[in-house]
Structure formats: C-alpha cells, structure tokens
Chain A
C-alpha cells in the first residue's frame, strides 16, 4: 500500500508513530516512507487537531513528543492558519498542557517528558513573539506571574514552586532564541517584535535579579549540589542572561549581574556558564562602546590568574581554554583603553595594565607542549596581532607607545623559543598531534612576521645572538637551536622582501653570522638538519648578494642530499638557492651528489623530478665554464635512463609497473631538458646570438654516437637548445617504439609521452632565439611529424594537439617545412572531426580533446597563422563550425571557454578574409541559435558570460547579419525558452524540458535592440544578455540579479 495516501488522522498518526519507533517490527525499507508520512502530516492542516489529541499522558511517550512537535511546527510555520479570535484559545490550551507536564515532571524523571515540556515551551515562546506586538503585549509579565501562581494549593510545595520557576526561566530564554528563527516575517514585523522584546527586558532583568539575590541567601551546600533544583535555577538563569546578551541587550541594562557572574565563575559547576556569559558580554559588538564601564572590571579579570593557576595545576585544558577566551574577549576589545591608560599620568592605571598584559603573556606561555599538554596558547596570537596592528595604526603618542610595548614583544620572542621546541617524546605523538603542532608553529611564525614592523632589526639580532650563545654553551641542546633556526626561517624571507633593495646592513651582519654557524651546529637528528636546510633555502635571494657565504650553504645542502631522512628538505633548499644564484663553481659537486641520490632509489618520484631539475640547471651553469665536462656529465646522467627506456619500449608484455616506470622516465627526461633551456634563458636572456651552425652540428653528431664532442666552449643560449635537440633526436625513435607498442590500449603512456614532448617544446617556444637551422632540427621535425602518423584516432588526445600546435609555431616560418606542416595540420583536423562520427555521448566523453583542439585553433588564429586556415575548403570549414556548435553545448566551463575563444577568433578572421565573410553569413544561423538556447537556459547560468563573448564579437563584426538572425530566431520563429529541470516523478528523477517563462514580443524586441546598440560597451552588452538570460530562466528577481554579479 502507498503510505503517502493514508489520511492524516489522530488514529493513523498514533499508529504510524508507534510503528516508526518499534524498530524490531518495521523493516528499514519501510521506515523512510513512514518518516515521510510523519513529516508531511506534521505540515498538514489536520495536525492542528491530532497534535492536541496526541499530547495525552495515556499515550506513548513517542506519541506525546510527536504531538508536541506538531504543535510547535504549526505555531512556528503555519501561524497564519489561526483566526485572530482563536488566539486566546490557543494560548490557554498551550499553557494548560505546559503546566500539566510541569507538575508531572516532579514525579516522573523520564528524560523524554522533559523534552516534551521543552517543545511546548518553544511553541508558547513562538506564539508569544507573534502576539507581543498587539494581542498579548503582557506576555512576559504573564509568564513571570501566572505560571508560578497557577496551582491552587494553599501551601505549595517548595520543589513544585521551583519547578515552575524553571519553566519561566526556560520560556524567557527561548524568547530571544526563537526570535532568531522568525524568518517567515518581514523586516518591519521583526523590527517591531525586536523593539517590544527590548522594551520588556526590564521585567526580565528584575525577575532574574530577584532570583540571583535570593540565591545569595541560600546555604552554600544547596548551590553546590548539581542535583538540586536551586543549582538548575542558577545555571538556567545564567543561560537566560547569555541568551539576552546575544540578542543585543546592552551592558548598561545588566550591570548588576556582572558581580554575581564574577562570583559564580569560581564555582566549578557554574564556571562554564558564567565564563560563557561574560565572554558574550565582553565580545558583543554592541557593548564595545561601554569601554570605560568594562574597564572597571579589570581587577576582577586580573584575579582570574588564580583560577588559571588552579587549572594549570589540575591539567584542566578545557577550563584553561574557556578562561583564555574570556580574558582575550576582554583584552581584544580594550586596546584603545589600554593605550590611553599607558599614555596617561596615572601610575596605578599603568600598573594594572601592566599586570593585564602580563596575564596574557602568561596565557601565551602556558606550560607544556601544544597540543598535548595545553590547547589554549594559540588563541592568544590574535591578541598580539591586534595589539601591534592597532598600535601601528594610531597617530597620537605612537612613539611613546612603541617604547612601552617593544619590550613585551621581545619577551614574546623568549616565550616562542620555549613554545616552538619539539618535545622529547615527539616520535610517540600521533599524526594528528604532529600536524596540529606543525600548524601551531606556522601560526607562531606568522605572529613573528607581523611583529617585524614593530620590533625591526632587533628580531634577527635577538635570534642569532641567542643561537650563538646556545651553540657555545649548550652544543647538544638541539631543541632550542632548532626552535631558534625555525624562528629565523619564519621571518627571513619577509625581512628580505620588506628591506630589499636596501637590505639593512645590520641584518646582513646577522645573516652572515648565521651562515657561519652552519658548520658548527651538531646535526644530531633529522629535525634540526631539516629546519636548518629550510632556513638556508629561504635565504636564496640574499645569498645571491652574498656569494662569499655560499660554500657553507651548499655544503649543508649536499650533506642533506646524502642523509636519507631529509632529502626532501635538502632538495627544496638547493632548488631555492639555485633559482637565485649562479652555481657554476659548485655545479659538478651538486650534480655528482644528486646523481648519487638518484641512484640510491630510495626517494619519492616527485623528489627525483626535482633533483633532475636541479641537475639540468647546474648543467646549464657548467656549460658556460666547462663545456666539455658538462657534456660528459649529461651523457653520464642520461644514458642509464635511455637504456632503461629502450628496454621498456621493447617489452612484449606490459603491466602497471612498466607503465609507471615509462611515465616516470619520460617525466625525468622532459624535466631535464626544460630546466636546461629555461636556465639558459634566465642567464642569457639578452644574448640573441645564434649558435654557430657548424659547431652545433659537430656537437650533435658526436653526442649522438656517444663520442666526446670536439667543439670549443660556447657561451650562447643556443648551446642548451642544441644539446636538447641532440637528446631529442636520440629519444624520438624510442618514443615511436613506445607508441607502436602501446597502441591501441595504453593511452596513458602515449598521453604522458606527448606531455613530456610538450614540456620540452614549450621551453623552446619561450626562448627568445629561433630554432637553429640544421639537419638535426630538420630531422627532429620530420621524426615528430611521423610520430603523429603512427597514432590512431583514439590516441589523438590532449597533449598530441598541444605538441602539434607547438610544432606549427616553431617551424611554420620556414618555407621549406610548410608543406609537411600543412599536412600535419589537416591530419589533426581530420582526427578531431572524427569525434563527431559517433553519437553525442562520445563527444561528451572527450571534452578534454575538444578543449585542447579548440585551444590549439584559437591560439593559432590569435597568433595570426591565418595561412593555415586559408587552405581549408568550405566543406572543412562547415565541419569545423559544426564541431564548435556541438562544443557550445558542453557544460564544462573550460571546454566552453576554449570553444568560445576559437569562435571569437574565427569570426574576426573571416572578417579579414573577404571570401570567408560570405561563408559565415550563410552558416551562422544554427550557431547563433545554439548560443541563444544556451543563454536562455540550456546551459548553467555561470556559463552565460562565456557565450555572450561570442555574440558580442558577432555584433561587433557583423551587426547586420546578427540583427537579421536574431530577429528570425526570436521574433519570426517565436522563440520561447525551455528549461532543463529535474522533475521528480514516480519512476525516479528524470530530466524534462519544461516551458519556463513566456517571452512577449516586446521583450524580445527590446533584447535585440539593446544588444545591437551596445556594440561599443562590453559591460552594458553583458548586462543586457544577463537580463535576458534571467528573464528566460524565470529568475529576473532579487536573487537572480544578486547572484549574477561577479568579480
């Protein structure tokens, strides 16, 4: 039976609730349907009736709770159903039920009874909010007076009376909380309710104050017992106060409570509630203006030091966190008062403020290791940031304040040395603990960076002097040394940035002292070695100006490369240094050590790639001074990989391991080649002299056959290119073998192969110098072109098109290659068009290919390689347009952008070539129709901008044509938008076209008029498209407009 058809009656509700909770009898399959029925029933009109009937003590607890939930839901969401004449009836019925449960609570300790009671309280609170403006203005007074006096017994039991007071407190707490969920009311109504609540707050304040005063007269044991009703009353009263503070009640209205809270905070059981209430009070933005009032509580805040000491002794981390939050909430909002106090002549105030800053200092220097022994010191970093930020932002008395506060920040550095130290048992920590400590150390580093502008050069002096002292006095204390080096590493790059180019002379002295210390440090474990390596790496650009200290830095990096546990850090440091410095004098040492590290094969693949990049850059440096030795090294390094790659390419059977090994070697070789060329560009960017062809040729030939080259030392940027070319010519036959071996199945390797060629060619493309013209480059071109002819249609993937484009750009300018390149271009076109030979799903599954091919075409058109396109006949151009038309229906953002860019360039191109104008005029209808479909709802809204770009180009280049096509599509053919919307139905969710908005003729005419008139203003043009798109989608409302603006 279909459960959803069951009528919403009391009997059915009772039955279904009981079945829903009787898990043993109901299968899990059935349960979601029951749940759905209950949810729908709760929102039905009938819930007003059966909700009351279910709240019957004779029914099951679950039924009673569901009934109470129904009533809360109805009052909350469907209050509009209730006719005004029934407001009183509803109110009285709710009160009656509520009191019934309140008295039951005394005898029945069942937790669920309490939940039912709470639900009814929420319903009454919500009802009170709806009626407070007109019909029940005295609701708060009524709650306070009626409920405790509702039982007509001559002498009420005290416990019963307290139980009723608890209900009043709960109702008063719920009023501001329920106000937050009044989203169904308009702003005016909400504001009226808000002001009514605030107007009535004095009643609540007096009521709570009476309660607080009465608690004061109670014997301490009654307050301390958490099981006593009195304790609950205090706890709930504080919660109630917090709730009203968060609602926006201002400090002036609740001053009388603050002293009580500072008393209760010392009660273990009331600590959390009191601290939370005070934190809300001090951090509330509404109360920031009461600066002087809050400041009066400074002595009480200072007294909390005792409580903090207690928590530290008891190792109560949670207590410390809560207390730290309270003290910081107080401090962060009092900065201006703190500054004023220090600038005043009042010594007593200054003394108090000094104590307060020291209290926060104590919070930062919380004993133990973060996060295992303590978890609160990190909260204080924001205070120190705000302090320095505000201090640097003020004008009056800033110098005086800087003199006062600088010592605090120096003291903070002392604390950071302690807090940064790694614990003795670090290796026993869990991964999560280690990660939290890592983040904590980064936070300290950030705090120090902010402090630079305040502390200045003293910071580096402090760190380096302490390090010198420590290395001399405690050479084995690696923990302090590591912490100090970490501090240096955190700030040094910032010092470099902020002081450059006039890098301070003093900082130079201290950094030189640090580098001099490197050989003196005992690297007894991986932590100190790794941190020192990172610090050395961060010195990169500074080392460029201080090459005399390079030997120490390089030696440390080489030591790191030989030490297995820190090879990662060593390679990072080395790469950072190489990026900034010329290392030709150290190149051979670095290459030799890196090669050893590569041979050891214990390192991760990404690390090997980084090492190969280091080798490439060092080889480039070495080429300029020791050409012959560089060639020898290159051969030495590359040869094993070529042999391995050849072996892999000859394997008859391949598996995942051989696939991964092949890809890795391809990556390594492309990294080596690209870093060689990039390095030469950096070093020799101004040197446009082409290399001597004959010399280059002899070098290449000798390299090919593995002989020592006889060429003399060259110093031009083409050296590296010549070497890379000779390497490529050696590799391409292996590449071809890999392609043949892996076709048709292993496309991953083929993709990787083309990616690796693309990386090498892209560094070639970025070079300022043209490809040297010789037989080697010609051979490379021919071999590369042949590689494409081995490919089948499936293996023409992303990087194949990229390589194809690179080849065209590198060699097209040379007339003798044009014929071959034209053929290649047409071959790539034919392969791309094959994507359309199968169904649309096939096209959808190859968006990366569509994207890459269109990017390739767009870039060629943008770079004005027009002659390539001029060879296309009309039929091919039609295919191309059809391809782009299909591409415009793909929802992938980057693919769509690539297609759009191609089309925009293509439209501009046709305008230049007269014979193509006619072609476009005859073949634009379908294209523009697809664009309009996409804009009107065929594609997600965030893609409309991309489509509008094509239309803009059309309007700009072909206004007449666009005008006539738009008229035909929109007006003559009476275009109406269709939306693809997920429409749920019985058989599941299916996509359906549903008519969205009906566009009038005027709307369409206005759209055409506005797009045509805004051809000179792209912003206004896009606005017109956005408006049309939103109208078509039925979203021309506040939501649609606001969510269409973009950065």
Chain B
C-alpha cells in the first residue's frame, strides 16, 4: 500500500531517466504523454522496490535544527549527523556540526483511518 511520491525523481536514476525521456520526446520517438506515464511508473516501481527490497536499517543521531510537515512530506534539517548502517558491516558516517543535512521523508503507509470512514453496507 505504498503511496507514490515524486521524491525519487531527483536521484541519479531519476535524472538519467529524465534525460533519456527528454531526448525521446524531443526527437519525436515518443509522445509526451507516454513520457509522463513512464515517469509515473518509475515513481510506483521505485517506491515498491524501496519498500520491499531494502531491508537494511539506518540509525542516525543528530541535532534537529528545523522541521516542517506539508502534505505528508516531512523536511528535517540537521546540523551534522552520525549515520550508522545496521548491516553486517555496521558502517558509520559522521559529519561535523558545520555540515547541514536535509532529510526529506514521506509517509509510506496510506492513511488507513480514512478507509474506515466509508459507509457500511448492511
């Protein structure tokens, strides 16, 4: 039940796809509607993959500077961060206070409560 967000369009894979689709549209190899649909499918697929195939857990410790929540998108701004990957290697990355870190997070679960507002049949 993953929501589809466009947030992954800015990662390398997304920008590479955009470049390719732009080129296809510009050279009339595909219609812009098709390019749009491919991007929508990309949003769906990448959300699904991140939800189902990524098992590693990441812990991070930091000082929260600013946070905001708009349309289920959380933006957290930190001063410095220590990220630990809970895999077999337990690697960690540490960035000092002088580094600003921005985390954009979206709610993975759809809002179940809204479903219960539906009318019952009998």
Within residues 972 to 986 of chain A, which ones have a CB less than 8 A from any CB in chain B?
A: 979, 981-983
**Would B19 and A1043 count as touching, CB distance under 8 A?**
no
Nearest CB to that of A541 among chain B residues? B61
A148 to chain B, nearest CB (A): 35
The reply to whether A979 and B36 contact each other, CB–CB distance below 8 Å, is no
Check A766–B96 contact: CB distance below 8 A: yes
Residues of B near A389 (CB, < 8 A) are 109, 112
Which residues in A have their C-beta under 8 angstroms from that of B18? 940-942, 1043
**Assembly CA distance A288 to B111 (angstroms):** 14
- A838 CB-CB contact with B under 8 Å: no
Q: Contacts A493-B59, A941-B19, A1034-B25 known; A390 to B119 CB distance under 8 Å?
A: no
Contacts of B39 in A (CB 8 A): 1039, 1042-1043
Q: Which residues of A contact B88 (CB under 8 A)?
A: 438
CB pair B37 A183 closer than 8 Å: yes
A290 is an interface residue with CB less than 8 A from chain B: yes
B10 touches A1046 (CB 8 A): yes
- A1039: B residues at CB distance < 8 A: 21, 25, 32-33, 35-36, 39
Cα A443 to Cα B57 with chains together (Å): 10
A393 within 8 A of B: yes
Flag whether B90 is at the interface (Cβ < 8 A).
Answer: yes
Q: Are B36 and A981 in contact (CB under 8 A)?
A: no
A336: chain B residues within 8 A (beta carbon):
116
| Interface residues on chain A, number (Cβ under 8 Å) | 50
**What B residues does A292 contact at CB under 8 A?**
120-122
Contact string against B for A residues 874-888, beta-carbon threshold 8 Å, 1 for contact and 0 otherwise? 000000000000000
Chain B 90-117 residues near chain A, CB threshold 8 A: 90-91, 96-98, 104, 109, 112-113, 115-116
In Å, the complex CA distance between A1046 and B6 comes to 8
Residues of A248-307 at the interface with B, using a CB-CB cut-off of 8 Å, are 252, 285, 288-293
A711 on the interface (CB 8 Å rule)? no
Query: Are A1043 and B115 touching (Cβ within 8 A)?
Result: no
Whether A1037 lies near B32 (C-beta < 8 A) is yes
Contact of A289 among B55, B98, B118 (CB under 8 A): B118
Whether A983 contacts B121 in the complex (CB less than 8 A), given A183-B37, A1043-B18, comes out as no
A762 — nearest CB in chain B belongs to which residue? Answer: B96
* List of B residues within 8 angstroms of A979 by Cβ: 26
Q: Is A1038 an interface residue (CB 8 A)?
A: yes
Closest approach, in angstroms, between the C-beta of B79 and any C-beta of chain A? Answer: 12
Query: Is B23 positioned at the interface, with any CB of A under 8 Å from its CB?
Result: yes
Contact for A981 among B23, B89, B90, B115, CB less than 8 A:
B23
- CB of B7 within 8 A of chain A? yes
Give the complex CA separation of A766 and B119 in angstroms: 61
Assess whether B27 is interfacial by the CB under 8 Å rule.
yes
A62 at the interface (CB under 8 A from B): no
Does B86 touch A at the CB level, under 8 Å?
yes
**B102 closest partner in A (C-beta):** A1047
Closest B residue by C-beta to A982: B23
Q: Which residues of B, 23-60, contact A by the 8 Å Cβ criterion? A: 23, 25-27, 32-33, 35-37, 39, 55, 57, 59
With A252-B121, A292-B120 given, is the CB distance from A983 to B27 under 8 Å? yes
Contact among A289, A443, A1035 for B32, CB-based, below 8 A: A1035
Q: How many whole Å from A605's CB to the nearest CB in chain B?
A: 12
Q: Please, which residue of chain B has its CB at the minimum distance from the CB of A576?
A: B84
The reply to whether the CB of A111 lies closer than 8 angstroms to some CB of chain B is no
Query: Do B26 and A1034 touch across chains, with their CB atoms under 8 A apart?
Result: yes
- Select from chain B the residue with minimum beta-carbon distance to A579: B82
Give the distance in Å from the alpha carbon of A336 to the alpha carbon of B115 in the complex: 10
A288 touches B7 (CB 8 A): no
Q: Which of A564-606 contact B (CB under 8 A)?
A: 568-569, 572, 606
Known contacts: A766-B96, A1037-B32, A1047-B7. The answer to whether A941 contacts B118 by CB under 8 A is no
Asked whether A1035 and B98 contact (CB < 8 A) given A292-B122, A1047-B10, the answer is no
Chain B residues, Cβ within 8 Å of A637? none
Q: In this assembly, does B15 line the interface, its C-beta being within 8 Å of a C-beta of chain A? A: yes
Contact status A289-B120, CB under 8 Å: yes
In the bound assembly, the distance between CA atoms of A751 and B23 in angstroms comes to 38
B46 to chain A, nearest CB (A): 14
A940-B55 contact in complex given A288-B118, A1039-B33, A1047-B104, C-beta closer than 8 Å: no
List, in ascending order, chain B residues with CB within 8 A of A183's CB. 37
A439 interfacial contact with B, CB 8 Å: yes
> With the chains together, A966 CA to B40 CA distance in Å?
37
A287 to chain B, nearest CB (A): 10
Residue of A nearest to B116 (CB): A336
Tell me the smallest distance from the CB of A558 to a CB of chain B, in Å: 19
Query: A442 near B: Cβ within 8 Å?
Result: yes
Identity of the chain A residue whose Cβ is nearest the Cβ of B38 in the assembled complex: A1039
Please name all residues of chain A whose beta carbon is closer than 8 Å to the beta carbon of B21 when the two chains form the complex: 1039, 1043
B10/A942 in contact, CB under 8 A: yes
* B97 partner residues in chain A, CB cutoff 8 A: 766
Contact present for B15 and A940 (CB under 8 Å): yes
Q: A710 to B59, alpha carbons, bound, how many Å? A: 45
User: Considering the complex, which residues of chain A in the window 1024-1047 have a beta carbon less than 8 Å from any beta carbon of chain B?
Assistant: 1033-1035, 1037-1040, 1042-1043, 1045-1047
* Cα–Cα distance between A386 and B121 once the two chains are bound (Å): 23
Given the interface contacts A289-B120, A1045-B6, does A996 sit within 8 Å of B36 by beta carbon?
no
Q: B65 contacts which chain A residues (CB < 8 A)?
A: none
Q: A1047–B73 contact, CB under 8 A?
A: yes
- Nearest A residue to B28 via CB reads A1034
Please, which residues of chain A bring their CB within 8 A of the CB of B115?
A: 285, 288, 333
Knowing A1038-B32, A1040-B32 touch, does A289 contact B121 (C-beta < 8 A)? Answer: yes
For residue B121, which residues in chain A have a CB less than 8 angstroms away from its CB? 252, 289-293
Residues of A within 8 A of B89 (CB): 606
CB distance from A165 to the nearest CB of B (A): 33
Q: Contacts A439-B55, A572-B90, A942-B15 hold; do A1035 and B22 have CB atoms under 8 A apart?
A: yes
The smallest beta-carbon distance between A498 and chain B, in angstroms, is 14
In the complex, besides A289-B118, A994-B27, 11 extra interface pairs with C-beta distance below 8 angstroms are A289-B120, A335-B116, A386-B112, A389-B109, A389-B112, A390-B113, A442-B55, A762-B96, A766-B97, A940-B15, A996-B26
25 A–B contacts, CB within 8 A, in A order? A289-B119, A291-B120, A293-B122, A389-B112, A438-B88, A439-B55, A442-B57, A762-B96, A766-B96, A940-B18, A940-B22, A942-B10, A981-B26, A994-B27, A1034-B25, A1034-B26, A1035-B22, A1035-B26, A1035-B32, A1039-B21, A1039-B25, A1039-B32, A1039-B36, A1043-B39, A1047-B10
Which 8 residue pairs of A and B lie closest in terms of their CB atoms, listed nearest first? A1039-B32, A289-B118, A439-B55, A1039-B36, A942-B15, A336-B116, A1037-B32, A1039-B35
